[in-house]
Structure 1
Amino acid sequence: MAAVVREAREVEAAAGRYVDLMQAALACGDGAAAREAAEKAHECDAQLPSPLIVIGQTALAAGQTEEARDRFARAAALSPNFLTLGLLATSLHALGRAQEAREQLAKAVACVPDLPDAQFVLGSVCELLEDRTGALTLYERCLSARPGHARARHRAGLCRLAAGDVIGALDNMRRAMAEEAPLAEQWTDLSAALAANGQFTAAHEAAEMALSRTPSDVKALNNLGYALVQLNRSQEAIPVYAQAAADAPDMPAVRFGLAVALLKAGHFDQGWAEYEWRWRDCQRPRCDLRAPLWLGEPLAGRTILIHAEQGFGDSLQFVRFVPLLAGLGACVVLQVPPALQRLMHNVTGVARVVTRLEHDLSYDFHCPMATLPLRFGARPGRIPACPYLHVPEDDQARQGNALRARATGGMTPPDLVVGIVWSGDPRPNDPKSNLVDRRRSIGLGDFAPLFDVPGIRFVSFQFGAARAALAQGHWPVLDAMDGVTDFADTAARLAGIDLLISVDTSIVHLAGSMNRPVWMLSRFDACWRWLEECEDTPWYPSMRIVRQAAPGDWQSVIQTVRARLVRLVDLYQHQIQAAA
């Protein structure tokens, strides 16, 4: 018996020595030596969780994910604590077993000790599993106990940024940078938060600070390119994105950023090709389509499904290519949201319009709407002309003429009728889109300086929650949207006005596609499709763009519009007098 006890003690001592060697190797950053020692320790004592943890971590780093999961599972069975359960969750996530990963993470959170470092580590696991709400809770618990934990404060800022709380994100990030000398990655993350807040000059400077420390960092280059595009310096952004793409050719955010820079700078041929990277960056390919993607094959006698993507405005802009498909001999079936269905029936060359894919629908090819410019080589001079969306004459008479009569009261000669839209869709459930909408939308009150221009009757085409502003004040504006059920109704009423003034939202595409006069009020960081600096656009000859001179400067935009309205009324009255 004594011999057995002595042998057990020797084994335990040997295991302890190997654990010491393992810890020393880890401290020196020698992963291979750490794993070798961990394997020896595990051979001596299979009940020790720490060697299993080290073996699992080295396996995970080497891409041996299944082995890592097995080792972490054994460690968690021996010692179910926040660390072993968190590591098990990490390996399950790497294997694509999301539900099991969330279950193990929940167990880890339930037993995390009230220690700042433990809360920080588990917060990182929550972030990895895209549970940023849980991560933020853990980081805030960590900071409550240790306010100077700079890394936790910075990570909390990133979680707030992902949730759309940009002000909170900036506060956390700046405080973290004040507590400790900032790393390059902190400058990179700060640049992203500043850009999200519309502070593009500051975002540019922060990205430059990051690159001064790590000149080839792809994420920092990506942020620098993005800031340059938003500052309307897209031509300068192109080589920045190109450098990032050379180092990370398969990074979707970089390639899509390059696409936007190219398109905004007017390099359409290369831009459309790069724009296909949207399917790996900000959009997901459909998996319910039963035919191949059209790559330019002959279409005579074939049926092609053209399906909507992105927002209403994109469909309204790119449906202009459908007649070209019909000209190639194709039978064109359109799939669009219900709000566009009636309007799209009037597009030349459309054989059928559906809102969902029916089981008996047969087609030979499919193509996303925004891929059509690539297929047809769209560029200035090779863009199908307007109008390409039409309103039947009886609808014009029933809705458009009726709206004009209501607005003018039958006066002779009539005042000009001007439609206004002050807000886009805020998309509150999409933090990124919501931040953009805050920069592109204004309030009804911002239009007030226009309302005292004589000779104009204003009508509102505002939709959504922002429409309620009409009832919250005594505005000299007629609501034109009563009874509107879809874009066909809206189009019919647009036919009854002389001019539309709107922020950048879907109705400007509708008016432009009908060749109706439209003045678009553009935020400083305009969408790529409107290019830079110019007042006109190759997409819609009837559109004029009034751009912010600086981010957030709507006052100068409204002053410019007011001055143009005064001139327009003067010209209109001179024409009436000349005709009298």
Structure 2
Amino acid sequence: MTTLSPSPCLLTRRTFTEYLRVAVGLEEVGQRESAIDVLREAETLLPERPESLFLLGGVYERLQCWEKASLFYGKALEARPHAARVWHRLGIALLHRDDLRGSIKALDTAVQQDPAIPEYATDLSMVLSRDGQFEAALGFAQSALKMQPDDANALNNAGHILQCLNRSAEALQFYDAALQRSPDHPVIRFGRATALLKSGDFFLGWQEYESRWLSSRTVRADIDASVWEGESLKGCTILVHHEQGYGDTLHFIRLMPILAQRGAEVVVQVPVPLVRLMQRVAGVSRVVSVLDPADSFDYHCPMMSLPVRLGLTAEFVGQFPYLSVSEEDMTTQGGKLSAQVQGSCQPPDFIVGLVWSGDPRPHDLRATQTDRRRSMSLETLRPLFSVKGVRFVSFQMGAARHQVAETGLPLVDGTENILDFADTAARLSAVDLLITVDTSMAHLAGGLGKPVWMLSRSDACWRWGDAGTQTAWYPDMRIFRQPVAGDWGSVVNDARLTLVRLMDLYRGYQHESGE
């Protein structure tokens, strides 16, 4: 036990301030739970002063007890409602509680009460961008920069917001300026990497993308092999392992044939739901979900590091399609689903698969907030159901699948008893078109060479670029982009009108062919 971490039972007859000091000391030596216990004791001695309430909230914030922090900041503001600093800290606490609207209100109050503090405007710009209010966010970032032009955080915010506004070339200027002030800042470097990729500079973008290892990612240390840095692979065995989300692996598994062409035996490690599908990818010798201690590799490489190691300078399509399922699976699963949807309908209707929501990833607050912008409700897609001659199949997984029953829309569930992506791929063979938000399903359908319409949030992922309806990644994909953040109505209406035109062509073809 150090002098900074006494047992809470020894804290009798200490003052409120001493309790706070001890709690901070416990936190500094990694004893967070003990620190929280001490703060509970401190609450019993809490003086009825706004300053004390603010201090207690601040220590709770330090311990990432966001609910408690916002509680005591709120109490401090009841006594002193014009304390801009307290409004600012309340805004940060509410952000971490995923209360974006409450956070924006608190931070905006701080800015109004003390507009001369650039930090308040900087943080408000960040929260506004999390909420998809990019134009307003840019205005506050610019206000902060007028007061403090060399602030790295404000410069980074401006870069990120411009990238979200699909002005990635402009964003790079702010990222570069931010890195001049803070050259090794991992968040700024990673933001710059995605802006480079989104603007089409893949040569520099892939190099800078390696900066993710400085912050949000950790290089694996459980593999007894060197990280591949581009050395000759002739006669070598390389382990390529899944990284980030399912969509990233489905997107970049297309690179395996290049490794095989360089003489490598390619072993791929992916989560169980991807194993069967990956076994059919060209260039892959073996697929595993868990490493065997007896396995031996010459090199290993994270999936998303392959582009820079391979020296790719542009969007690489490669062999296409690069995903497939067996004829047997297409017949049994795809054929069964097709029969279920069509029934005895003659001539056959056009079958469209739907996915309207992504994985909210509740363990990652920022990812959750991004998913809120990329996902929609099934009800929003209702206009599509007015198009005659179309039958719809749901490929939606997770909690959002329950919306089928809630809306009452005529939608066949195509996910029953699906075990993995190979099952999903087999059932996709039953549909003529998949309409989906930006999830792994877009990459699955795209990699299978299936026609796919992707409904994209306005702040599109870097891989879809700043503009355009086409992408070199997937020749059979069409992108429908929100004109402004949150405007799914325009996107769905555009897709509906396009589907109407497609159905005119489809029925015309059926008539000409005598179906």
Query: Which TM bucket (shorter chain)?
Result: over 0.9
**Structure-to-structure mapping, 1:471-510, within 5 angstroms:** 471-510=405-444
The CA RMSD over aligned residues, in Å, is 2.2
Partner of 1:426: 360
The answer to whether the 8 A contact 2:270-2:289 is kept is yes
> Aligned AA for 2:34?
E
CA contact (8 A) 1:82 1:122 kept: no
Relative to structure 2, which stretch is displaced further, 490-499 or 425-434? Answer: 425-434
Match of 1:98 among 30, 34, 41: 30
Question: Helix, strand or coil: the match of 1:501?
Answer: strand
Tell me, in whole angstroms, the C-alpha distance in 2 between the residues paired with 1:542 and 1:89. Answer: 58
Q: Which of 131, 148, 152 is equivalent to 1:214? A: 148
**Aligned position for 2:227:** 293
Cα drift, residue 552 of structure 1: 1.1
Indicate yes or no: 2:250 matched with 1:316: yes
- What is the one-letter code of the residue matched to 1:563? L
The answer to whether the aligner puts 1:512 opposite 2:446 as a matched pair is yes
The answer as to whether partners of 2:22 and 2:38 remain within 8 angstroms in 1 is no
Structure 1 window deviating more from structure 2 (330-339 vs 256-265): it is 330-339
1:356 equivalent in alignment to 2:299: no
Give deviations 1:500-552, integer Å, cap 9, x for gaps: 01111110100000010000000111111100111111111111100011111
What is the deviation of 1:89? 4.6
Matched ranges for 1:55-74 at <5 A: none
Moved more, 344-353 or 499-508: 344-353
1:552 aligns with 2:483: no
What's 2:94 paired with?
A: 160
Which region of structure 1 is more displaced relative to structure 2, 226-235 or 350-359?
350-359
Q: Could you tell me which amino acid in structure 1 is paired with residue 480 of structure 2?
A: V
SS of the residue corresponding to residue 277 of structure 1 reads helix
Deviation by residue 1:192-217 (Cα, 9 ceiling, x = unmatched): 11111110000000000100100000
Equivalent in the alignment of 2:262: 328
Which residue is equivalent to 2:332? Answer: 398
Aligned to 1:32: none
- 2:316 touches 2:472 (CA, 8 Å); kept in 1? no
Q: 1-side partners of 2:407 and 2:68: how far apart?
A: 42
CA 1:93 to 1:279, structure 2 compared with 1: closer, same or farther past 3 Å?
A: farther
**1:355 CA drift (Å):** 1.4
In the alignment, the residues of structure 1 paired with residue 274 and residue 114 of structure 2 have an alpha-carbon distance, to the nearest angstrom, of 54
- Distance 1:578-1:85 versus aligned 2 partners, 3 A rule: same
Post-superposition offset of 1:330: 1.6
Distance in 2 of aligned mates of 1:467 and 1:323: 36
Q: Give a deviation string over 1:403-422, Cα, whole Å, max 9, x none.
A: 22222224333111111111
Q: 1:247 aligns with which of 166, 169, 181?
A: 181
Contact 1:82 1:107 (8 Å CA) reproduced: no
1:579/1:376 CA distance change after superposition, 3 Å: same
Q: Distance in 1 between matches of 2:164 and 2:478?
A: 20
Question: Which residue in 2 is equivalent to 1:65?
Answer: none
Deviation per residue, 1:129-176 (Å, 9 max, x gap): 433333223323322333333212210110111221101101111223
Q: Which amino acid aligns with 1:468?
A: H
CA contact (8 A) 1:86 1:105 kept: no
Cα distance change, pair 171–344 in 1 and its aligned pair in 2 (3 A): same
- Partner letter of residue 290 of structure 2? R
Question: Separation in 2 of the partners of 1:385 and 1:548?
Answer: 31
Unpaired runs of at least 5, structure 2? none
Distance 2:87 2:281 in 1: 54
Trace 1:92-131 onto structure 2 (pairs within 5 A): 93-94=27-28, 97-99=29-31, 102-104=33-35, 106-111=37-42, 113-114=46-47, 115-131=49-65
* Structure 1 range deviating more: 446-455 or 504-513: 446-455
- By how many angstroms is 1:449 displaced? 1.2
Tell me if 1:302 matches 2:233: no
Q: Give the C-alpha shift of residue 72 in structure 1.
A: 9.7
Label 1:543 to 1:78 Cα distance change in 2 as closer, same or farther (>3 A). Answer: same
Identify the residue that residue 71 of structure 2 maps to in structure 1: 137
Aligned residues: 507
Match of 1:6 in 2: none
User: In the alignment, which of 295, 298, 311 is matched to residue 377 of structure 1?
Assistant: 311
Q: Aligned partners of 2:116 and 2:216: how far apart in 1? A: 30
Q: How far did 1:247 drift?
A: 1.2
Q: Which amino acid aligns with 2:158?
A: L
Look up the equivalent residue of 2:336 and give its one-letter code. A
Q: Which amino acid aligns with 1:237?
A: A
Going from structure 1 to structure 2, the CA distance change for 1:404 and 1:106 (only over 3 Å counts) comes to: same
Residues of 2 paired with 1:286 and 1:140: CA distance?
43
- Tell me how far apart the structure 2 counterparts of residues 249 and 385 of structure 1 sit (CA, whole Å): 39
Secondary structure of the 2:287 match is: strand
- 2:227 partner SS: coil
Cα distance in 2 for partners of 1:458, 1:574 equals 20
CA distance in 2, matches of 1:145, 1:356: 57
Tell whether 2:119 aligns with 1:185. yes
Q: Name the SS for the 1:290 alignment partner.
A: coil
Is the contact between residue 4 and residue 25 of structure 2 (CA under 8 Å) also seen in structure 1?
A: no
Looking at structure 1, the residues matched to 165 and 137 of structure 2 have their Cα atoms a distance apart, in angstroms, of 10
Please say if residues 316 and 473 of structure 2, whose CA atoms lie closer than 8 Å, have aligned partners that are also in contact: no
Q: CA deviation at 1:576?
A: 2.3
Which ranges of structure 1 fall in alignment gaps of 5 or more residues?
Answer: 1-68
Which residue of structure 2 aligns with residue 262 of structure 1?
196
Q: Deviations over 1:37-75 (max 9, x none)?
A: xxxxxxxxxxxxxxxxxxxxxxxxxxxxxxxx86898xx
Alpha-carbon offset, residue 78 of structure 1: 12
Q: Is the 8 A contact 2:228 2:300 kept in 1?
A: yes
Is 2:297 the counterpart of 1:366?
no
Q: Secondary structure at the match of 2:144?
A: helix
> Contact 1:89–1:102 at 8 Å: present in 2 too?
no
Q: What displacement does 1:554 show?
A: 1.1
**Structure 2 CA distance for aligned equivalents of residues 240 and 142 of structure 1:** 37
- Structure 1 or 2, whichever has the larger Rg, is 1
How many Å apart are 1:267 and its aligned residue? 0.7
Is 1:463 aligned with 2:394?
Answer: no
Out of 134, 158, 165, the position equivalent to 1:224 is 158
- Taking only the aligned residue pairs, the percentage that are identical comes to 46
Q: Could you say which residue in structure 1 is the equivalent of 2:465? A: 531
Higher helix share: 1
- Counterparts of 2:15 and 2:207, CA distance in 1: 50
Residue 286 of structure 1, CA deviation: 2.9
Cα distance change on mapping 1:455 and 1:181 into 2, 3 Å: closer
Q: Is the 8 A contact 1:395 1:492 kept in 2?
A: yes
Which stretch of structure 1 is more off in the superposition, 372-381 or 498-507?
372-381
Displacement of 1:259: 0.7
